[in-house]
Amino acid sequence: MNKRLAIDGGKPAKTTPNLPMFPGGIEIGEEEKKAVDEVIEHKYLFRYYGPGEFPSRVKLFEEEFAKKMGVKHVLAVNSCTSALISSLVAVGVGPGDEVIVPGYTFFASCAAIVAAKAIPVIAEIDESFTLDPDDLERKINPWKKLSPIA
């Protein structure tokens, strides 16, 4: 039995190539290309305008997605940051509210809170890198809310 590492000439444990780090582009096919070409050809790139014969593709997507999910309202956004801001505002987070977030998080978590005119409150994390339940409990009071990304 060869006990050398693959880097030293031994047998590799894995023989298939790794997928790209962000494989989303692999999924883009002819149908997606055609849809993008159609939008560009009609020159209606934005959400709130478009002739009746070529309605907003965003609006169509929202309607179809709402139907599929069995909900009344859907809001398509361009990024997770926009989604966080929208969700905070939708649940009533606003000026003067304090929103608890973990100390180990992406910048957009706090930026979304500030964009909603609220105040981020940083809570400690535990050994699993998620909110420390004890610190969270210490920080809770009647005017604090918990971030949706906590």
Q: Is 12 domain-assigned?
A: no
Same structural domain for residues 85 and 64?
no
Q: So what's the pLDDT on residue 34? A: 94
pLDDT, mean of residues 123-131? 93
Pick the last residue of a domain from 69, 88, 117. Answer: 69
Contacts of 46 (CB under 8 A, 6+ apart): 56
Q: Is residue 19 part of a domain?
A: no
Closest by CA to 148, choosing from 103, 95, 97, 91, is 91
Give the burial string for 109-148 (b: 16+ CB within 10 Å, else e). bbebbebbebebbebeeeeeeebbeebbeebeeeebbebb
Same-domain pairing of 92 and 120: yes
Mean pLDDT to the nearest integer, 99-113: 93
Categorize the per-residue pLDDT at 50 as very low, low, confident or very high, splitting at 50, 70 and 90: low
Residue 107 lies in a domain: yes
Is 109 inside any structural domain? yes
CB 113 within 8 A of CB 99: yes
Is 4 domain-assigned? Answer: no
Q: Do 64 and 105 share a domain, yes or no?
A: no
The 10s digit of each residue's pLDDT in 5-40 is: 989 999 888 888 887 777 778 888 999 999 989 888
One domain for residues 135 and 95: yes
**The domain boundary residue, chosen from 69, 90, 123:** 69
Query: What residue numbers bound the domain in which 136 lies?
Result: 80-146
Q: Which helix (H) or strand (E) holds 144?
A: strand 144-146
**pLDDT, tens digit (0-9, with 9 covering 90-100), for 71-80:** 999 999 999 9
Q: Domains in the chain: how many in total?
A: 2
Residues 58 and 87 in one domain: no
Residues 85 and 142 in one domain: yes
Q: Are residues 86 and 140 in the same domain?
A: yes
Q: Which helix (H) or strand (E) holds 66?
A: helix 57-69
